[in-house]
Structure 1
Amino acid sequence: MPIESSKADDPPEGAAARAPRADARRNRDRVLEAAAEVVAEQGTQASLRDVARRAEVGLGTLYRHFPTREALLEALLRRRFERLAERADTLAATAPPERALTDWLAEFALGTAVYRGLPATLMATLADAASPLHAACLEMRQAGGRLLAAAQQAGLVRPDVAAVDLYALVNALSWIADQAPGLAERRDHLFRLVMDGLKPQG
């Protein structure tokens, strides 16, 4: 006589659907952990094949989660950009306009130096609205723009400076240090030169 299976022996409803999702989340987390290591070693142009190999997943699995290099970098950098946006709001509420802008720009410059090649990557995506990095940076740039506007309203920054000008200038400092490591020790001096150039003429 055949043995009838009871419902207690059947997998819970939805368990089969949940398992793949859990596996997918684990794979995504492994890819991000590996990417943080590989990009720190190789820069933003790191080999995605090396990322997949270190995560112990297939290259196809990596591309299912992150279809482009920019998508992977956006996932790595999103929280950093969010913190910079939050930091701008905190400085706006607690510091005088010039100090708030100066401190935030200094922190932004340090943040763009976290990975080799990041300054150039960020500038390349600045005008590319379709890039995931462009969207991830938008809130951060807007927060910095509010600090700039407050400093301009206080008469501390020349009125012809746009937020994109500021973004490009400070990002360029990180690019210089990235391209010529021997100039890294001059970063603070170069930063002060930029800040002096922002002051109203006369």
Structure 2
Amino acid sequence: MPDESRPDHPRAPRADARRNRDRILEVAAQVVAEQGTPASLRDIARRAGIGLGTLYRHFPNRDALLEALLRRRFTRLAERADALAATTPPERALTDWLYEFTLGAGAYQGLPATLMATLHDPRSPLHATCLTMRQAAGRLLATAQESGTVRPDVTPVDLFALTNALGWIADQAPTLAERQEHLFRLVIDGLRPPSP
């Protein structure tokens, strides 16, 4: 006989659990903005006023916490790629999207390296979210290549690596941050097919 006291579906989180999760994300956004993606999880828990065990119940590892922090941004970038594809010429759509991605990659110190580390790690919670965003960029790339405005040997992974490299340069050499626009233009120029 089935146990009537056990629901078929898991219960929604309790109100205090939801509040804890929201508080962790709020504090994590501040701490990661200050310290970068290697920020101390212990520091996040302390500043959120919770125990480290509570943090780990909500986010079993750093990538799970980062995924929750970045999910909205990555979803928005994927949607933005689709909107640009529908309204903008192919090369312009790709360039605009890459520019927005590059700006976002510099949001947190260490983010470019973290994103590159998830590229071939399907076990990372960040992998699936990044994959959706990379696939959207890949569609823009394919359309630009079909139009003849981007060289055919560029892959979505090449694009991801180049744009993350721009963010990494700003991380490693803040004095080059003022040159980021120029470096971005060099990358875009390098994507174009060579002149005959």
TM bucket by the smaller chain?
Answer: over 0.9
Gaps of 5+ in 2: 1-6
Max Rg structure = 1
Distance in 1 (alpha carbons) for counterparts of 2:128 and 2:185: 29
What is aligned with 1:30? 23
Could you tell which deviates more after superposition, 77-86 or 132-141? Answer: 132-141
Matches of residues 115-130 of structure 1 in structure 2 within 5 Å? 115-130=108-123
Q: Deviations over 1:84-122 (max 9, x none)?
A: 001001100111001000000000000110001000111
Match of 2:33 among 6, 17, 40: 40
Match of 1:186 among 175, 179, 185: 179
Counterpart code for 2:54: T
Superposition RMSD in Å: 1.5
- Cα deviation for residue 54 of structure 1 reads 1.0
Q: What TM-score, normalized to structure 1?
A: 0.90
What is aligned with 1:196? 189
- Cα deviation for residue 19 of structure 1 reads 9.7
- Cα deviation for residue 18 of structure 1 reads 7.5
Give the ranges of 4+ consecutive aligned residues of structure 1 lying more than 2 Å apart after TM superposition: 17-20
Matches of residues 26-175 of structure 1 in structure 2 within 5 Å? 26-175=19-168
**Alignment CA distance shift 1:70-1:18 (3 Å):** closer
Q: Deviations over 1:144-181 (max 9, x none)?
A: 00000000000001101001100100110010011100
| Equivalent residue pairs, number | 187
Q: What TM-score, normalized to structure 2?
A: 0.92
Gaps of 5+ in 1: 1-13
Counterpart code for 1:160: D
Give aligned-pair identity as a percent. Answer: 78
